[in-house]
């Protein structure tokens, strides 16, 4: 009996896959279809030139699938669960331009046609239609339906139904329900029928952030969450009134985007970066849940904080993975299906929301009103506190939580900076770290120099070298090995591109430096070179000269006649300058000797 109960409590996330038809852009490019949808086997087959890959889901939808069929399979069964007091979430995930917004919101194919009769209507209008149909079936049932429309744009929360479009919402932990969040300032609008919901939906969608890209003429630049909360009044045998609550969250995620292919620049590129970062965090959360890691990185993005209860909590969740059938989107399609396959392994524990008596609900609202009144009284008194003492303690706890979160973010930023340096500079980062550990001594000051500043500089230099010689050697050896591995894996084109970028940066830095800085840099380089040559063995010296000769031969073999003539001309010019310098020095020496001899004779 207990096993059966456990199996009922622990459920898998339901995962569906929908493939759209080829769009006009893909047809113009002549990109063939590489996706085969097999509904009977619940399978999606990706046909590649070298191999075929199979993906299996709870249900798959071919390109000709109707909106009503998708709705009945994915959301239809969840409406009754909402009426039974569960929280349910459905969200669409996939590459930009694969039909997520079309699946969730749909489109009006005929302005004179109602939403429920429109074949292009999506999940949101259809779910509200079914919800009101079910609620109106039973007589003498009192209920209320409230809706909200939330947008997450560039990691900022906005209310799409608020009169103040620029007001940013705040996100807090729900102390009464672990894993859930409270969005301060989000309006929940009371609706009485489905027609009011359709008007609200159209109002919110017109305010959502969208833009045209090379991959999608109407690309969503934000994530949205359309929430429906249902309160149903019931009477117990004893005649006591109970309030049952269910909630449906319908999430339309912005699409993952390749900035190079989409042509996004400036503002659009920043939007794409924020979208990809939040989706990357979502993928990391899914991986951590599957591997049952002790730490799940929900806090690294507001998107994952919003979906925390849906992914690893007590909400019944379904995911719709949307894909493109075109060969040009092969990599993005594989990535989407891989994530969807991983999500199938996530286990959730749905729980019915606790029914509240009318008395308990009134008491909860009364306590909330009393708390707000205390805050107002404290504000009017202006006795040093602007909130009540109890609320002030709660705020202090919130500040502590935020400080810990900021500290974690700062540590993460430092790690990312270090990783970026390694990726950008490759093996040259190794040299940069080596030289930074042994800074060159500064130019000596005169006797009148500031002794205190010199002592402070010495202390800073001593503090910079805190690791032992063995630790330093081991770290530098590991970094050098990583650099060699990366260079071994890169193609000739990637290597040339990297070296070209480095050369360009070097030219820009040299163009900006003054004559004094240039002379100082060349002197330091010469001193380091002499020091290294003095320390190397005969064998190392011979090996270095052989490598330099080999590189010179390779460069000369690759160079054109024009480059060769330019190089020889530069060498001749350099030789002439050196000879002139030597001659001038000799002449100067002879003149000095002449005057010295003349002085002696006199």
Cα 431 to the center of its chain, rounded Å: 31
Buried b (16+ CB within 10 A) or exposed e, 489-521: eeeeeeeeebeeeeeeeeeeeeeeeeeeeeeee
Residue 89 counted as an annotated binding residue: no
The C-alpha atoms of residue 124 and residue 103 are separated, in whole angstroms, by: 9
Choice among 73-77, 120-124, 440-444, 543-547 with the minimum mean pLDDT: 440-444
Which residues, in sequence order, are CB contacts of 261 under 8 Å at separation 6+?
214, 215
Helices (H) and strands (E) in the chain, counts: 21, 19
Half-sphere exposure of 323 (CA within 13 A, CB side): 34
Please write the tens of the pLDDT for every residue from 265-278: 556 567 667 777 88
Is there a binding annotation on residue 96?
yes
- DSSP letter for 187, please: -
User: What confidence category does residue 227 fall into, taking pLDDT thresholds of 50, 70 and 90?
Assistant: very high
| 185 marked as part of a ligand binding site | no
Q: Is 553 annotated as a binding residue?
A: no
- Calpha distance 442→157 (Å, rounded): 51
Tell me: the pLDDT tens digits for 498-514?
777 787 777 777 777 77
Element (H or E) spanning 61, and its range?
A: strand 59-61
Within 444-560, residue ranges assigned H as helices are 451-464, 469-489, 492-512, 515-535, 538-558
**Residue whose C-alpha is closest to residue 201's, from 219, 228, 220:** 228
CA–CA separation, 240 and 361 (whole Å): 13
Residue 51 annotated as binding site: no
Most confident of 6-15, 53-62, 362-371: 53-62
Check the annotation: does 401 bind a ligand.
Answer: no
Q: In this structure, is the dihedral angle defined by the CA atoms of residues 372, 377, 379 and 385, taken in order, positive or negative?
A: negative
Burial of 239 (0-12, 13-18, 19+ CB in 10 A): exposed
- Please indicate if the annotation marks 94 as binding a ligand: yes
Q: Which residues contact 221 (CB under 8 A, 6 or more apart)?
A: 153, 209, 210, 211, 254, 268, 271, 275
Spatial CB neighbours of 6, under 8 Å, sequence gap ≥ 6: none
Cα separation of 460 and 444, whole Å? 17
Which residues, other chains included, contact 217 with Cβ-Cβ below 8 Å and sequence gap of 6+?
Answer: none
Does residue 303 contact residue 282 with C-beta atoms inside 8 Å? Answer: yes
pLDDT 10s digits, 168-186: 888 877 766 676 778 877 8
Residue 576: pLDDT over 80: no
- Classify burial at 223, counting beta carbons within 10 Å of its beta carbon; exposed 0-12, middle 13-18, buried 19 or more: buried
pLDDT in tens, 74-122: 999 999 999 999 999 998 988 888 888 899 988 766 655 555 667 888 8
Sign of the C-alpha dihedral computed for residues 325, 327, 332 and 334 taken in this order? positive
pLDDT of residue 374: 73
Per-residue confidence band for 537, with pLDDT thresholds at 50, 70 and 90: confident
Per-chain mean pLDDT for the chain: 76
pLDDT of residue 437: 45
Radius of gyration of the chain (CA): 34
The two tokens of residue 193 are 């029928």
94 burial type by CB count under 10 A (0-12 exposed, 13-18 middle, 19+ buried): buried
Q: How many Cβ atoms from other residues are within 10 Å of residue 123's Cβ? A: 24
12 strand-pairing partners? 347
């Amino acid at each position: 009996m207990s096993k059966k109960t456990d199996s009922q409590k622990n459920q898998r996330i339901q995962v569906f896959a929908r493939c759209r038809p080829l769009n006009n852009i893909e047809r113009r490019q002549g990109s063939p279809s590489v996706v085969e949808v097999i509904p009977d086997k619940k399978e999606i087959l990706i046909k590649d030139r070298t191999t075929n890959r199979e993906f299996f889901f709870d249900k798959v939808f071919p390109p000709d699938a109707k909106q009503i069929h998708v709705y009945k399979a994915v959301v239809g069964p969840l409406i009754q669960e909402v009426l039974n007091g569960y929280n349910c979430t459905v969200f669409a995930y996939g590459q930009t331009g694969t039909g997520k917004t079309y699946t969730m919101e749909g489109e009006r194919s005929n302005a004179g046609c109602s939403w429920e009769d429109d074949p292009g209507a999506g999940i949101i209008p259809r779910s509200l239609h079914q919800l009101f149909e079910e609620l109106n079936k039973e007589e003498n049932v009192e209920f209320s339906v409230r809706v909200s429309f939330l947008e997450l744009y560039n990691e900022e929360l906005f209310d799409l139904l608020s009169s103040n479009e620029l007001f940013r919402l705040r996100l807090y932990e729900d102390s009464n329900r672990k894993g859930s969040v409270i969005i301060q300032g989000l309006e929940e609008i009371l609706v009485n029928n489905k027609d009011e919901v359709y008007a609200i939906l159209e109002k919110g969608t017109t305010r959502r952030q969208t833009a045209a890209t090379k991959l999608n003429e109407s690309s969503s630049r934000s994530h949205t969450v359309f929430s429906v909360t249902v309160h149903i009044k019931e009477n117990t045998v004893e005649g006591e009134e109970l309030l049952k609550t269910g909630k449906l969250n319908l999430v339309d995620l912005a699409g993952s985007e390749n900035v190079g292919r989409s042509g996004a620049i400036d503002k659009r590129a920043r939007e794409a970066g924020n979208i990809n970062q939040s989706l990357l965090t979502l993928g990391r959360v899914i991986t951590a849940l599957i591997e049952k890691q002790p730490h799940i990185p929900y806090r690294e993005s507001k998107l994952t904080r919003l979906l925390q209860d849906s992914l690893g909590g007590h909400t019944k969740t379904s995911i719709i993975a949307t894909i493109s059938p075109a060969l040009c989107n092969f990599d993005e399609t594989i990535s989407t299906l891989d994530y969807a396959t991983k999500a199938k392994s996530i286990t959730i524990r749905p729980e019915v929301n606790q029914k509240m008596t009318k008395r308990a609900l009134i008491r909860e609202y009364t306590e909330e009103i009393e708390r707000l009144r205390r805050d107002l009284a404290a504000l009017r008194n202006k006795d040093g506190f602007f909130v009540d003492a109890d609320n002030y303690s709660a705020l202090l706890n919130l500040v502590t939580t935020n400080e810990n979160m900021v500290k974690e973010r700062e540590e993460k930023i430092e790690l990312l900076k270090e990783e970026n340096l390694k990726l950008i500079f490759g093996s040259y980062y190794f040299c940069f770290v080596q030289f930074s550990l042994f800074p060159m001594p500064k130019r000596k000051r005169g006797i009148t120099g500031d002794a205190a500043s010199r002592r402070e500089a010495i202390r800073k230099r001593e503090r910079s070298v805190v690791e032992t010689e063995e630790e330093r050697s081991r770290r530098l050896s590991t970094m050098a090995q990583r650099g060699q591995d990366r260079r071994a894996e890169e193609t000739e084109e990637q290597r040339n591109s990297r070296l070209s970028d480095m050369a360009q940066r070097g030219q820009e830095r040299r163009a900006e430096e003054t004559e004094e800085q240039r002379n100082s840099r060349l002197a330091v380089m010469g001193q380091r070179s002499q020091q290294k040559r003095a320390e190397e063995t005969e064998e190392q010296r011979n090996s270095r000269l052989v490598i330099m000769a080999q590189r010179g031969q390779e460069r000369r073999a690759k160079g054109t006649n024009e480059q060769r003539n330019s190089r020889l001309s530069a060498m001749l010019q350099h030789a002439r300058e050196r000879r002139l310098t030597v001659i001038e020095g000799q002449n100067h020496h002879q003149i000095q000797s002449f005057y010295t001899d003349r002085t002696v004779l006199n």
